[in-house]
């Protein structure tokens, strides 16, 4: 049989264990609240990045369109100039540049 003294010692051990568990739980609560704050700040950062990426996509699309426009203009001008040079070479009976 257990005596009052034995029961008192068991109670002290259990109380000590409960206190250590409580401190561990409070530490975990602090960690969880810190994680929640970090996640909230990450969400804000990600939303800002998503806006920036969409702006960059729009800019890249505009640049592609502008590049296509410039290339088509230059290509058209080159072809017109090439026709004129061929016509002049033919009229003057000059050999083509590749023949030199």
Question: Which 8-state DSSP code applies to residue 3?
Answer: -
Listed range (4-18, 26-40, 65-79) with the worst mean pLDDT: 4-18
CA distances, 75 to each of 67, 78, 85 (Å): 12, 5, 15
Q: What is the DSSP string of 12-50?
A: HHHHHHHHHHHHHHHHHHHHHHHHHHHHHHHHHHHHHHH
Across 1-5, 37-41, 85-89, least confident range = 1-5
pLDDT cut 70: percent of the chain above it? 97
What does the alpha-carbon distance between residue 100 and residue 95 come to, in Å, rounded to a whole number? 8
Read off the pLDDT of residues 49-59 as tens digits, 9 standing for 90 and up.
999 999 999 99
Average pLDDT over residues 28-51: 91
CB atoms within 10 A of CB 61: 10
Rounded to two decimals, what is the model's pTM?
Answer: 0.52
């Amino acid at each position: 049989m257990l005596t009052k003294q034995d029961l008192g010692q068991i109670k002290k051990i259990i109380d000590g264990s409960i206190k250590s568990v409580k401190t561990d739980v409070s530490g975990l609560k602090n960690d969880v609240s810190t994680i929640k704050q970090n996640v909230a700040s990450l969400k804000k950062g990600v939303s800002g990045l998503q806006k920036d990426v969409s702006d960059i996509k729009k800019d890249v699309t505009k640049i592609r369109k502008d590049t296509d426009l410039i290339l088509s203009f230059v290509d058209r001008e080159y072809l017109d100039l090439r026709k004129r040079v061929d016509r002049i070479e033919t009229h003057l009976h000059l050999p083509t540049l590749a023949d030199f």
